[in-house]
């Protein structure tokens, strides 16, 4: 049921429907011409697409009608079955679309690769251009794209009559129209081009093939006729239903990106398209799809509801009935020029760049080539087949290479290592000289039994020949668990493995048994894996640092500032000491110099003081430190101990006395910071923010102080206010 608000219809939808109607009429005529169908079939599809699909569909602003994307398959279908049976195919395709929509599988169509869709449209565009160029040049389109290509040179050099003048004039106007003033461009370009070309041909008295319409368009008969052969009929039904359905759904998704109104219900949209195809086929019309050209025009013209699409269909009907004589003056060469322009726009360079960027150019080209050389269905199936092959290859891909490091060899295996990669793996490993030390680095997401056996067999053979093999697994220990006889974990569990750059040495170096070389081994790991990823970032920081935050925290080995703040090189100017202390009264020259440099020279915008749970310095302060340098340093924390006894924090705080002291200590250090003149001046001027942070080591939870509530809250649940 269509609910229309009268005021919105009059203000927005009525004007928009008139604009879309002006675009739809010439396009519908041209598409019927390119399909080899009766010209009236395009107008019937435009009327039905607007009224039926507009009222029943799931996309409020999508406009439906005959589409250029189906011209190739419709031309083949009409040539094979004849027009009456083709109408029956359209009806049956509509029934199939309704069943698919009721099955709620419409979204499955979105699984088709965009490269296939873009390649299909480009192939259709090339086919349309190759065929309609013959019409422009005064000839006749051939039955296939290859025949059109073969005949085109002779057609170009042949004698050209007035048809070529009209066709080229139409194309020139369409190319020129977007460059004209906005006031002129209020008239749609296709309408202006067709009207101008028609007027010129009439005033010049040109004798040209023109549009032919039935004598009585209102005398509608049921056209469909059942076929003699059901096999080809069924294949044609499925082909038209799927292509029209996918094109409509993709168009609906594209239209959703153009407006902020209700999103499309794709299942309902497919049902609406099916109903429109049943009606269109029964009345002798072309198949109906959602059309992005008309839909985008509808949105740009200010439409707000589905009333615009419905009214556009009504205007097409009124125009055809009352002004059929005008339509019959339109030269076929002008419609051919319009189609050449539309077909060329289907080969979108932006789509090609996007496909190339995502590595799907082969899929695009195979689909395009299949549509042009064979037919649309073959091209789409070829594209789907290649996309599946490439997906399988990417899923099962493994990178295997060997690097020489002096007398030793480093073998790196990345990706997924399965039986499909065993031949290449064996070839690479077989080229490793016997007796040399080998470091086998496995950076694999999955390792199957065949690959495990291949690696194990080679390792044993290499070690028997006097060589050594050190296996280094980054991520899940597939190989190690296999050698231990334990079943490998699921891939989901493997995906939860902690990366080396986040895990401590003890977790990834323990298997090597060389704790004395942890720093050296870690530096080597950075050089091999992290440095290539960070080189571009660090090269941009080579001329100097520009941190935005001064981060003051404890020297505790469990606190990793960049980890808990998700920051990287150049983000934090970090000061670490025992207990994250800021000595009051600028008593410590080193701390004083660091703060003055960060605020005065680097111009940081924030200072964070971060305490943590289980702090040894706070525990020593609470218990009384033994005499010595530690006791001397912890005197700077005595104001924190006094604060703990006299001040309270709202909400829950850790139970341990040391942790309560750590919380108060963070707040006390902020007070000490405000005693520094440069800090006080920057904060009062609104140029600096002071933040209190607390890290619970056991739960990996960061807390931030909320001054309004006077309590620490988990990060993300509080707003830190300047001056906390």
- Which residues are catalytically annotated? 554, 556, 558, 612, 615
How many CB atoms are closer than 10 A to CB 490?
Answer: 10
Provide the token pair at 141: 């389109």
- In sequence order, what are the beta bridge partners of 701? 696
How many CB atoms are closer than 10 A to CB 345?
Answer: 13
Using a 10 angstrom Cβ sphere, with 0-12 exposed, 13-18 middle and 19 or more buried, the burial of residue 532 is exposed
Give the chain's length: 724
Q: How far apart are CA 451 and CA 457, in angstroms?
A: 10
| Beta strand residue intervals within 214-320, DSSP E | 289-290
The candidate with the shortest Cα–Cα distance to 196, out of 172, 180, 160, 213, is 172
> If you search the block for the tokens 């004039």, which residue do you land on?
169
Helix, strand, or coil here: 691?
A: strand
Give kind and range of the element (H or E) at residue 608: strand 606-612
- C-alpha dihedral sign at 590, 596, 602, 606: positive
φ, ψ dihedrals at 399, nearest 5° = -95, 125
> If you search the block for the tokens 């086919």, which residue do you land on?
127
Q: How far apart are CA 528 and CA 61, in angstroms?
A: 54
DSSP 489: P
- Radius of gyration from C-alpha coordinates of the chain: 37
Q: How far apart are CA 96 and CA 94, in angstroms?
A: 5
- C-alpha dihedral sign at 238, 241, 244, 246: negative
Q: What angle do CA 480, 486, 490 make, to 5 degrees?
A: 85
Q: How far apart are CA 252 and CA 330, in angstroms?
A: 32
CA dihedral 405, 409, 415, 418 (to 10 degrees): 170
φ, ψ dihedrals at 159, nearest 5° = -70, 130
Chain-centroid distance of CA 391 in Å reads 17
Name 137's Cβ contacts closer than 8 Å, sequence gap at least 6: 155, 156, 158, 160, 163, 164, 167
- In sequence order, what are the beta bridge partners of 706? 711
Provide the token pair at 465: 């020949």
- C-alpha dihedral sign at 276, 281, 284, 286: positive
Name 102's Cβ contacts closer than 8 Å, sequence gap at least 6: 267, 271
DSSP 580: S
Distances from the Cα of 661 to the Cα of 564, 570, 579, 702, angstroms: 21, 32, 11, 17
Q: How far apart are CA 480 and CA 459, in angstroms?
A: 13
φ, ψ dihedrals at 226, nearest 5° = -70, 150
> If you search the block for the tokens 């042949």, which residue do you land on?
158
């Amino acid at each position: 049921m269509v609910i229309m608000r009268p005021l919105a219809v009059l203000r927005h939808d009525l004007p928009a429907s008139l604009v879309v109607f002006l675009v739809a009429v010439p396009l519908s005529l041209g598409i019927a011409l390119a399909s080899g169908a009766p010209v009236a079939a395009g107008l019937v599809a435009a009327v039905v697409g607007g009224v039926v699909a507009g009222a029943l569909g799931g996309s409020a602003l999508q406009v439906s009608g005959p589409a250029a994307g189906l011209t190739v398959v419709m031309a083949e279908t009409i040539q094979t079955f004849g027009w009456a049976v083709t109408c029956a195919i359209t009806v049956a395709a509509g029934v199939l679309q309704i069943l698919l929509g009721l099955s709620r599988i419409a979204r499955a169509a979105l699984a088709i690769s965009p490269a296939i869709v873009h390649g299909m449209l480009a192939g259709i565009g090339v086919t349309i251009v190759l065929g309609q160029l013959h019409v422009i040049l005064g000839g006749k389109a051939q039955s296939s794209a290859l025949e059109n290509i073969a005949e085109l040179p002779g057609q170009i050099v042949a004698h050209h009559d007035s048809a070529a003048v009209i066709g080229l004039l139409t194309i020139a106007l369409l190319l020129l129209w977007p460059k004209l003033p906005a006031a002129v461009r209020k008239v749609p370009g296709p309408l202006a081009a067709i009207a101008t070309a028609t007027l010129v041909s009439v005033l010049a008295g040109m004798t040209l093939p023109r549009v032919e319409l039935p004598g009585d368009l209102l005398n509608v008969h049921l056209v469909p006729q059942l076929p003699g052969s059901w096999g080809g009929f069924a294949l044609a039904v499925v082909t038209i239903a799927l292509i029209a359905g996918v094109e409509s759904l993709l168009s609906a998704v594209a239209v959703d990106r153009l407006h902020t109104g209700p999103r499309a219900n794709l299942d309902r949209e497919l049902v609406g398209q099916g109903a429109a195809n049943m009606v269109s086929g029964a009345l002798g019309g072309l198949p109906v799809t959602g059309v992005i050209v008309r839909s985008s025009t509808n949105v740009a013209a200010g439409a707000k509801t589905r009333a615009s699409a419905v009214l556009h269909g009504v205007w097409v009907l009124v125009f055809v009935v009352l002004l059929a004589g005008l339509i019959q003056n339109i030269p076929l060469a002008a419609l051919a020029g319009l189609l050449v322009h539309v077909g060329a726009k289907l080969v979108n360079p932006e789509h090609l760049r996007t496909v190339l960027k995502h590595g799907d150019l082969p899929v695009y080209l195979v689909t395009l080539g299949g549509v042009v050389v064979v037919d649309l269905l073959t091209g789409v199936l070829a594209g789907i087949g290649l996309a599946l092959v490439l997906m399988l290859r990417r899923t099962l891909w493994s990178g295997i290479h060997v690097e020489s490091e002096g007398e030793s060899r480093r073998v790196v295996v990345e990706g997924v290592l399965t039986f499909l990669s065993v031949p290449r793996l064996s070839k690479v490993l077989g080229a490793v000289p016997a007796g040399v030390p080998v470091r086998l680095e496995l950076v694999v997401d999955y390792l199957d039994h065949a690959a495990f056996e291949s690696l194990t067999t080679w390792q044993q053979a290499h070690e028997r020949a006097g060589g050594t093999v050190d296996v280094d697994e980054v991520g899940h220990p597939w190989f190690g668990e296999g050698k231990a006889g334990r079943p490998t974990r699921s891939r989901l569990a493997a995906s939860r493995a902690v990366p080396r750059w986040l895990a401590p040495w003890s977790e990834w170096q323990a298997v090597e048994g060389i704790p004395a070389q942890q720093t050296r081994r870690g530096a080597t790991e950075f050089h091999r894996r992290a440095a290539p990823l960070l080189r571009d970032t660090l090269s941009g920081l080579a001329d100097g640092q520009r941190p935005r935050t001064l981060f003051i925290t404890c020297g505790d080995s469990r606190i990793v500032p960049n980890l808990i703040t998700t920051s990287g090189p150049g983000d934090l100017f970090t000061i670490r000491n025992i207990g994250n202390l800021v000595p009051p009264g600028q008593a410590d020259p080193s701390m004083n110099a660091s703060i003055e440099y960060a605020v005065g020279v680097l111009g940081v915008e924030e200072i964070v003081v971060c305490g943590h749970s289980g702090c040894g310095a706070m525990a020593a302060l609470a218990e009384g430190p033994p005499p010595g340098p530690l006791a001397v340093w912890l005197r700077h924390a005595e104001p924190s101990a006094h604060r703990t006894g006299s001040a309270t924090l709202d909400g829950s705080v850790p139970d341990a006395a040391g942790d309560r002291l750590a919380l108060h200590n963070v707040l006390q250090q902020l007070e000490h910071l405000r005693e520094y003149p440069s800090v006080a001046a920057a904060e009062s001027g609104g140029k600096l923010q002071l933040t209190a942070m607390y890290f619970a080591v056991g739960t990996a939870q960061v807390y931030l102080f909320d001054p309004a509530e006077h309590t620490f809250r988990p990060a993300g649940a509080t707003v830190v206010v300047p001056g906390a």
